[in-house]
């Protein structure tokens, strides 16, 4: 299987690239702004950029779109850029997948829902609250309606091994390990289903290997708010110095609205792969400390 990953310098894309390579796949992973190890340059907004990797000569069987502008508040305040980097980039990769007759994988989010009745199944009605969610849903619709060979993974609160260590879990671990005092003002009323990027890669490999298509939620066994997530990590660092300040979402004055009862249910995936064992946050932190 020949796989092209747009956005392999990020958390999900990087884990997918390394895992697929370990399974013997021919994989090209790309970056746009941050040249992560073993990646090549590709601009999803300009296929004619002369610096781009020659994807047409590579002729992938699968194109995975992991590139994204995921800063929800930034998206809310920069609508044009959010649309460009989420919707336009997806349309460009859709066009490319059709030219190359390649399957297209799009990485989506629980932010397409309003968070009133979560966690959510795949067939529930979207109602995004933020521009980030609106643009993700529009990109989903483009993929579903234009590409017969498509796969959409919905995920949220992703953590795991990452070259830059930008994700929430990794940042807390790093600061606690290095003896830095943490001041954490976190919403106590925003619930989600944290998922290890390595598990996303494992799940996606199975789905691709068996030529699945459609929408799949990928979640784990954890369902918690941000305060509980921080507490789960910090219990492994009894000497850590921190101020953990629980807040209600309305007190935080965030530019973008959040789905409060968010998260995803994964019955569909587990019905098809009942022996698949997801890890959780405790697994990740305990293993991290033994490395």
Residue 106 pairs in a beta bridge with 65, 152
Tell me whether residue 256 is exposed, middle or buried, using C-beta atoms within 10 angstroms of its C-beta: 0 to 12, 13 to 18, 19 or more.
Answer: middle
- Residue 133: predicted pLDDT: 98
C-alpha span between 28 and 9 (Å, rounded)? 11
Looking at the chain, the whole-number percentage of residues with pLDDT higher than 70 is 100
* pLDDT band per the 50, 70, 90 thresholds, residue 95: very high
* Digit-coded pLDDT (tens) for 269-288: 999 999 999 999 999 999 98
- Does domain 2-159+194-217 fall under CATH 3.40.720.10? My reply is no
What is the model's pLDDT at position 166? Answer: 84
List the one residue out of 65, 57, 110 whose CA is nearest residue 89: 65
- Show me where the domains of the chain are located: 2-159+194-217, 168-191+223-261+281-290
From start to end of the chain, where are the E strands? 2-6, 26-31, 39-41, 62-65, 103-109, 150-155, 158-159, 182-187, 191-192, 195-196, 214-217, 224-225, 242-247
Q: Is the pLDDT of residue 92 over 80?
A: yes
Tens digits of residue pLDDT in 35-53: 999 999 999 999 899 999 9
Whole-number pLDDT of residue 209: 96
Structure tokens at 26: 């021919």
Q: What sign has the CA pseudo-torsion 45, 48, 49, 54?
A: positive
Average pLDDT over residues 68-93: 96
Q: Is the dihedral of CA 12, 17, 21, 26 positive or negative?
A: positive
Question: 239: Cβ–Cβ under 8 A, 6 or more apart, which residues?
Answer: none
Which backbone phi and psi does 125 adopt, to 5 degrees? Answer: -80, 120
Average pLDDT, the chain: 96
pLDDT at 105 over 90: yes
pLDDT at 165: 81
pLDDT tens by residue, 145-200:
999 999 999 999 999 999 888 899 999 999 999 999 999 999 999 999 999 999 99
Residue 289's H or E segment, with its range, is helix 281-290
* 2-159+194-217 and 168-191+223-261+281-290: identical CATH topology: no
State residue 163's pLDDT score. 87
Q: Which of the 8 DSSP states describes residue 261? A: B
The architecture in CATH of the region 168-191+223-261+281-290 reads Alpha-Beta Complex (3.90)
Rounded to whole angstroms, how far apart are CA atoms 258 and 113?
9
pLDDT at 291: 76
Strand-strand pairing, 191-192 and 224-225:
antiparallel
pLDDT at position 226 is: 96
The pLDDT tens digits of the residues spanning 209-251 come to 999 999 999 999 999 999 999 999 999 999 999 999 999 999 9
Tokens of 119: 């966690």
CB 79 within 8 A of CB 67: no
């Amino acid at each position: 299987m020949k796989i092209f990953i747009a956005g392999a310098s990020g958390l999900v894309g990087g884990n997918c690239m390394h895992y697929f390579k370990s399974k013997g796949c021919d994989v090209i992973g790309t970056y746009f702004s941050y040249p992560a190890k073993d990646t090549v340059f590709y601009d999803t907004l300009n296929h004619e950029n002369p610096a781009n990797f020659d994807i047409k000569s590579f002729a992938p069987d699968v194109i995975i779109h992991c590139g994204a502008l995921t800063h929800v508040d930034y998206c809310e305040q920069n609508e044009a850029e959010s649309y460009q980097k989420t919707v336009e980039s997806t349309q460009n990769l859709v066009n490319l997948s059709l030219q190359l007759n390649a399957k297209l994988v799009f990485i989506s989010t629980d932010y397409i829902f309003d968070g009133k009745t979560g966690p959510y199944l795949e067939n529930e009605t979207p109602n995004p609250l933020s521009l980030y969610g609106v643009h993700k849903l529009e990109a989903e619709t483009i993929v579903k309606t234009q590409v017969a060979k498509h796969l959409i993974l919905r995920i949220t609160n992703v953590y795991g091994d990452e070259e830059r260590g930008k994700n929430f879990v990794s940042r807390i671990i790093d600061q606690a390990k290095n003896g830095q005092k943490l001041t954490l003002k976190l919403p106590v009323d925003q619930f989600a289903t944290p998922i290890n990027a390595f598990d996303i890669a494992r799940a996606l490999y199975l789905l691709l290997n068996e030529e699945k298509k459609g929408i799949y939620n990928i979640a784990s066994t954890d369902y918690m708010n941000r305060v509980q997530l921080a507490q789960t990590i910090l219990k492994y660092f009894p000497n850590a110095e921190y101020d953990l300040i629980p807040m209600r979402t309305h007190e935080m004055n965030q530019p973008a609205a959040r789905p409060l009862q968010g998260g995803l249910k994964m019955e569909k995936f587990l019905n098809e792969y009942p022996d698949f064992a997801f890890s959780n946050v405790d697994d990740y932190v305990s293993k991290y400390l033994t490395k």
